[in-house]
Amino acid sequence: MGKLFAVVLVLIAIGSAIPIVMHWYPMAQDISTHGHLIDDQMGETMAEAGIAFLAAQFVLAFFVFRYSDRKDPGKIRTFPGGARTMVVAAVLLVGSEVLALGIFGQRAWAGQYFTPPGADAMTIQTQAGQFAFYFRYPGADGKLGQQHPDKIDEGNQNFFGLDPANDVESRDDVVTAELGIPANREIRLLMHSKDVGHSFYVRELRVQQDFVPGLDLMVHFTATKPGRYEIVCTQLCGLGHYNMKAYLNVMTQEDFDAWMKQKTSEQ
Amino acid sequence: MAPTGFIRKYVFSLDHKVIGLQYYGLAVVAVFIGMVLSWLMRIHLVWPNSPIPGLHLLSKNGAPGDVMTPEYYLSLLTMHGTLMVFFVLTNAPFAAFGNYFLPIQIGAEDMAFPRFNMMSFWTTFAAFCVLIAAFFIPDGPPISGWTAYATLSAVGGDAGPGMAYGQTLWGISIAIFCIASLLGSLNFIATTLDLRTKGMSLMRMPICTWAWFITSCIALLAFAVLLPACILLCLDRVAGTSFFIPSGLVFNDHVIPHGGGSALLWQHLFWFFGHPEVYIAILPAMGIVSHILINSMRRPLLSHRVVIGSMISIGFLSYVVWGHHMFVSGMNPLSSLVFSFPTLIITIPATVLTLIWLGSLYGSRLRINSASLFALGFISMFVSGGVSGFFLAQPSIDIYLHATYFVVGHFHLVMGVAAIFGVFAGTYFWFPKMTGHMMNETLGKIHFWGTFIGAYCIFMPFHYLGMVGNVRRYSSFVDDFLQPYLPLHKFITFAALTTGAFQILFLLNLLYSRFKGPKAPVNPWECTSLEWTVPSPPPFDNFGGVHPVVYHDPYQYGIEGSTGDYVMQSSPETIAVERDEK
């Protein structure tokens, strides 16, 4: 039975590695300027984790194969070096490897979160609420009008609680249900939730950030490839969570200008 | 004096062994409910519009015409997670086996506070009833997941079905559960420190006793934080306070009259409990598995001290890493960086433990039976679940993998399947002691193969789905993007149903062997620790009024020149050379 265990374990280990090695389950394509850092880090981690996974399973399988149900009641032998070697090996080898991963992995994180967006980044606000995303562009004046929670009226399409009668800056704000952006231009996305926790996740952009009620958060990114990509809410937000999606529409600058013109005329 | 009446003997018993069995029984009930819920969810995921016969009996609104609504799916995932984490993974490896065997292993007659012990079980039972009641109230169980993130969980009925009374019941249930766990862990700590028999120094305690002791220290600190958190959550819901609710939130176009709280505070409090909870589930399993492996290998582990040291460091580190659940939550990005490093450092003691298990297998005389198969399966699952932690410990990669099936695969393998393998191993190993009957080995081995292969078939593919960006907690996959992966989802559903069927085999084996199994000798596995010196099942006061004396380290196996290849811990037999640890 021990030998069967060893054989099954080796088959499981190899079977688990094949889909990754053969790229049957690839990551979503990367359309951002920062995504390659994340992808590289993922590749390095996959290599390390894969080696650790296969090595441990194979050693387990080998020892079980070799030492289970021994017919000869041979003398019990101690692993060469004993526990001290194990501890030293784990501290030196595994410790230094995972710490190296951690340190190098910070490049991608720092690029996203410790570096502010450039001065010419385009500001867009997104508001998440049960169960839709809305996006607000500052319009010609480049300024977003004030929000008034008590003025939110979804029936009258005032999703952000704007007060154009008294607030000049809000009059030219453009509100959409789709996030349209120009390619190769940095976007500064201001994030705000009106009710519960939500999340903004675009796989292709390598961006995921929760909306936390009461906190104003920000992410910045540059998309490189025109196309239509799904925005998903990954934070369980209530009964309609399964349906809470929006689309990111990455366009060329000309297409974006035309799109924005059309959206402005619809307000 | 042993009680003779049915109520005092079996229901409100002060005997730690009966209480251990009560915890075990409760965990078995909870795990079967939790498993059926997971079946329902898996079926809904791949055939969202198909009726599931009889489902409307569980909930008319949640399953009109037996077809599950997507909202009810969220209810089921909330109840599945809560039942499994609290009532199975905390109860079975820790409270059930710990209660039964910790006093016997240290040579005590009972727990330090038997009445506390009885109270902690019945309090847990009350928590279970309150949680299950949520199925039967008009607006149904809550839909906020087992993490119950504020503000969804805090604002009340405005947040949707189940979020009125259902969520309040959830909060009350978990608060009661925390009280029970606090009572239980205090009792474990006092018993271990105070009731050890003569000769039983701390370093002579078996590894599983150490694991239960460390776990009770973790549980004491972790549940002490969750309890006030749940009370504050319930106050927000019913008393108009705003601990977790900031100002200016709008539901249905109305600003709610709360203000000044912090939604992120709930996440911090919850995960300060939630991360150690992973180790509350897995550490006892590590202890049980080590105990069983040593017995099966007929040799001690390479180092008793290093194993205990590793478990203590894992327990300590579990307190400083809770933020790795919150990398994309909006907390200060520098915190994410800081939390990432201790998370990665946990790899070191975890690797040491794995290497010690593997290194101890080398040159051993491994006996294969159902218990040792599950113990070996545990190592395999622990490694498989553990390596995916490399990914999630790094905030930069977490940006992509957070809230995807990768995470689901990771924690199910490591804290779900691995911990449950520990419970199965413990069950096959200790069943003869607990019942006086042997379990059926053939059924046990069939159960192992079905569960081992099945668990890999279910949870490995989750990692692949996470890699392609399949997010969790969505009740159907109708998008174009995920359509190509639907066959894999179907495969997982088939695997889940099949693996579940093997658990029914286990249940049958349990019941059959309890009544029809052959009579068990006192020490069927030729084990050395104290529980194998008492009759099967042990009498009311364990040792018949005579406290054992301990002369040796717990694992005297492979003894040259002795009558057998082992020497009992309580045997005064002199061993020529006390083993020298390298």
Q: Where are the domains of chain A?
A: 2-70+78-113, 122-266
Which of the 8 DSSP states describes residue B558? S
ipTM of the prediction: 0.96
Would you put residue A250 in left (φ > 0), alpha (ψ -120 to 50) or beta?
A: beta
What local confidence, expressed as pLDDT, does residue B2 receive? 81
Residue B580, chain A, CB below 8 Å: the answer is no
Residue B467, chain A, CB below 8 Å: the answer is yes
What local confidence, expressed as pLDDT, does residue B580 receive? 46
* Contact map slice: A 222-261 vs B, CB within 8 A: 230, 232, 234-243
* Contact map slice: A 4-23 vs B, CB within 8 A: 5, 8-9, 12, 16, 19-20
Which residue of chain B is at minimal alpha-carbon distance from A72? B365
Cβ-nearest to A90 among B351, B376, B476 = B351
Yes or no, beta carbons of B344 and A210 under 8 Å apart? no
Yes or no, beta carbons of B473 and A241 under 8 Å apart? yes
Q: Which of B250, B367, B463 to mutate to test the interface with A (most CBs of A within 10 A)?
A: B250
Residue A218's DSSP bridge partners are A190
What local confidence, expressed as pLDDT, does residue B582 receive? 38
Which residue, among B568, B538, B544, has the nearest Cα to B20 in the 3D structure? B538
Yes or no, beta carbons of B464 and A63 under 8 Å apart? no
For chain A, state the CA radius of gyration: 26
Q: Which of A65, A69, A86 to mutate to test the interface with B (most CBs of B within 10 A)?
A: A86
What local confidence, expressed as pLDDT, does residue B579 receive? 53
Yes or no, beta carbons of A57 and B250 under 8 Å apart? no
Q: Which residues neighbour A125 within 8 Å (Cβ) at sequence distance 6 or greater?
A: A135, A136, A144, A160, A189, A190, A191, A192
Query: Which residues in chain A have Cβ-Cβ distances shorter than 8 Å to B145?
Result: 236
Number of Cβ atoms within 10 Å of the Cβ of B51: 14
Segments of chain B scoring below 50 in pLDDT: 580-582
* Contact map slice: A 164-193 vs B, CB within 8 A: none
Segments of chain A scoring below 70 in pLDDT: 73
* Contact map slice: B 71-90 vs A, CB within 8 A: 71, 73-74
Cβ-nearest to B262 among A12, A209, A214 = A214
Residue A216, chain B, CB below 8 Å: the answer is no
Yes or no, beta carbons of A106 and B364 under 8 Å apart? no
Yes or no, beta carbons of A67 and B479 under 8 Å apart? no
Query: Which residues in chain A have Cβ-Cβ distances shorter than 8 Å to B468?
Result: 25-28
Cβ-nearest to B344 among A25, A74, A99 = A99
H/E segment holding residue B405: helix B405-411
* Contact map slice: B 339-378 vs A, CB within 8 A: 340-341, 344-345, 347-349, 351-352, 354-356, 358-368, 373, 376
- B418 neighbors B378 (Cβ within 8 angstroms): yes
- Indicate the residue type of A152: I
What local confidence, expressed as pLDDT, does residue B490 receive? 95
Beta A245-251 vs A179-182: how paired, if at all?
parallel
Query: Which residues in chain B have Cβ-Cβ distances shorter than 8 Å to A73?
Result: 365
Query: Thinking of the domain A122-266, which architecture would CATH place it in?
Result: Sandwich (2.60)
Which of the 8 DSSP states describes residue A158? B
Which of the 8 DSSP states describes residue B13? -
- The pTM assigned to this predicted structure is 0.95
Beta A122-129 vs A186-193: how paired, if at all?
parallel
Rounded Cα distance, A151 and A124, in Å: 20
- B178 neighbors B230 (Cβ within 8 angstroms): yes
What local confidence, expressed as pLDDT, does residue A78 receive? 85
Give the number of A-B residue pairs with CB atoms closer than 8 Å. Answer: 315
* Contact map slice: B 183-202 vs A, CB within 8 A: none
Residue B65, chain A, CB below 8 Å: the answer is no
Distance from CA of B234 to the nearest CA of A (A): 17
Which residue of chain A is at minimal alpha-carbon distance from B340? A102
Q: What percent of chain A has pLDDT over 90?
A: 80
Yes or no, beta carbons of B303 and A68 under 8 Å apart? no
Which residue of chain B is at minimal alpha-carbon distance from A8? B453
Rounded Cα distance, A206 and B522, in Å: 60
Token pair for B172 = 């009350």
Which residue, among B3, B15, B2, has the nearest Cα to B114 in the 3D structure? B15
Yes or no, beta carbons of A195 and B303 under 8 Å apart? no
3-state DSSP assignment of residue B474:
coil
Rounded Cα distance, B27 and B86, in Å: 9
Residue A26, chain B, CB below 8 Å: the answer is yes
Rounded Cα distance, B212 and B89, in Å: 13
Query: Which residues in chain A have Cβ-Cβ distances shorter than 8 Å to B337?
Result: 106, 109
Residue A113, chain B, CB below 8 Å: the answer is yes
- A135 neighbors A209 (Cβ within 8 angstroms): no
- A127 neighbors A175 (Cβ within 8 angstroms): no
DSSP code per residue over B329-398: TTS-HHHHHHHHHHHHHTHHHHHHHHHHHHHHHTT--BPPSHHHHHHHHHHHHHHHHHHHHHHHTSHHHH
H/E segment holding residue A187: strand A186-193
Rounded Cα distance, B539 and B548, in Å: 14
Which residue, among A202, A214, A197, has the nearest Cα to A247 in the 3D structure? A202
Cβ-nearest to A27 among B355, B467, B582 = B467
